């Protein structure tokens, strides 16, 4: 990858990492299904002035239901069911392994030995994190977060199958997909009294959380992510999401006071090592250094 594109991928990781702290703030006021509806209702507002991408409506719905609706319904709910913000940012990165697997099966993007080695190292890191279940993390929260990761991975692969499209337009119009089904589920499962009470108790901080989730996280973050997926194979782009836990755990520790036992720190270290193996051309750099 070009250095400027690596910088963009790292920027997205930072935005998405801090996003987990913001989600926790939003969930203190709004229940998860309602928060999903609000997030994408705001993100979809530019559709009033942005032209839709030249893609069939059915494909747009499929991508919107996986990349956006499914992913965030699961992860928001997980964070109300015993998944701490920093740990959620770690576990969600299982999507990178699932993306590589699904891309290999569907798009026939055969992973290189270097990619497979990096994935194996990072998977060991997630395994160590999984061993720390208990205390501040529940099995339900872990399972829901893994469902979110699977939904994100399917969306990544669907994005790779699109022709050339304007990514800002794509993200804006994809944001039209989640609000109605998310609000319908909120009415059915969370109930109107809870919805009305949420708005009655909402503060400027609550609405600021919704705005952050809609603009930097959704429009900017997914716009850049989709742009990179159009330039590079899914197996090259997806591992950069492994940086999200670093920003997520640091933000959760500094802002929310979340603490991580040594086992989780060891898992984080393995995840970083896996990213370095998969995403950076270390072999080429070493050969160039020797040539000099």
| Tens-digit pLDDT profile for residues 97-151 | 788 888 888 877 777 787 788 878 878 887 887 776 666 778 899 899 999 999 9
**pLDDT: which is higher, 226 or 34:** 34
Q: Are 244 and 93 in contact (CB under 8 A)?
A: yes
- Per-residue burial over 197-213, b if 16 or more Cβ lie within 10 Å, else e, is ebeeebeeebbebbbbb
Q: Mean pLDDT highest for which of 70-74, 220-224, 280-284? A: 70-74
Residue 10 near residue 224 (C-beta atoms within 8 A) = no
Residues 6+ apart with CB under 8 A from 53: 60, 165, 166, 169, 170, 173
CA 109, 228, 37, 257 dihedral sign is positive
Radius of gyration of the chain (CA): 19
Lowest mean pLDDT among 3-17, 99-113, 175-189, 230-244: 230-244
| CA distances to 70, 96, 127, 180, 181 from 65, in Å | 6, 18, 28, 11, 9
Q: Is the pLDDT confidence value at 245 over 90?
A: no
- How confident is residue 163, by pLDDT bands cut at 50, 70 and 90? low
**What's the pTM?**
0.83
């Amino acid at each position: 990858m070009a250095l400027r594109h690596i910088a963009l991928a790292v920027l997205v990781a930072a935005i998405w990492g801090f996003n987990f702290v913001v989600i926790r703030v939003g969930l203190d006021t709004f229940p998860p299904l309602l928060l999903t509806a609000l997030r994408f209702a705001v993100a979809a507002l530019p559709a009033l002035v942005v032209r839709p991408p030249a893609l069939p409506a059915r494909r747009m719905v499929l991508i919107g239901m996986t990349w956006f609706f499914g992913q965030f319904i699961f992860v928001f709910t997980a964070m109300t069911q015993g998944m701490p913000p920093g740990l959620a940012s770690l576990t969600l990165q299982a999507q990178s392994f699932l993306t590589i697997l699904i891309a290999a099966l569907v798009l026939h993007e055969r992973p290189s030995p270097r990619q497979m080695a990096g994935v194996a190292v990072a998977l060991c890191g997630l395994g160590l994190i999984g061993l720390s279940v208990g205390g501040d993390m529940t099995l339900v929260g872990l399972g829901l977060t893994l469902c979110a990761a699977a939904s994100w991975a399917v969306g990544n692969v669907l994005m790779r199958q699109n022709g050339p499209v304007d990514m800002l337009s794509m993200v804006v119009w994809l944001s039209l997909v989640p609000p109605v089904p998310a609000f319908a589920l909120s009415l059915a499962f969370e109930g109107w009294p809870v919805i009305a009470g949420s708005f009655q108790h909402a503060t400027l901080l609550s609405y600021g959380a919704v705005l952050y989730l809609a603009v930097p996280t959704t429009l900017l973050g997914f716009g850049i992510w989709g742009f990179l997926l159009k330039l590079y194979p899914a197996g090259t782009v997806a591992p950069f999401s492994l940086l999200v836990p670093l920003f997520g755990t640091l933000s959760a520790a500094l802002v929310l006071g979340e603490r991580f036992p040594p086992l989780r720190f060891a898992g984080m270290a393995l995840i970083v090592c896996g990213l370095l193996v998969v995403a950076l051309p270390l072999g080429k750099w070493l050969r160039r250094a020797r040539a000099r």
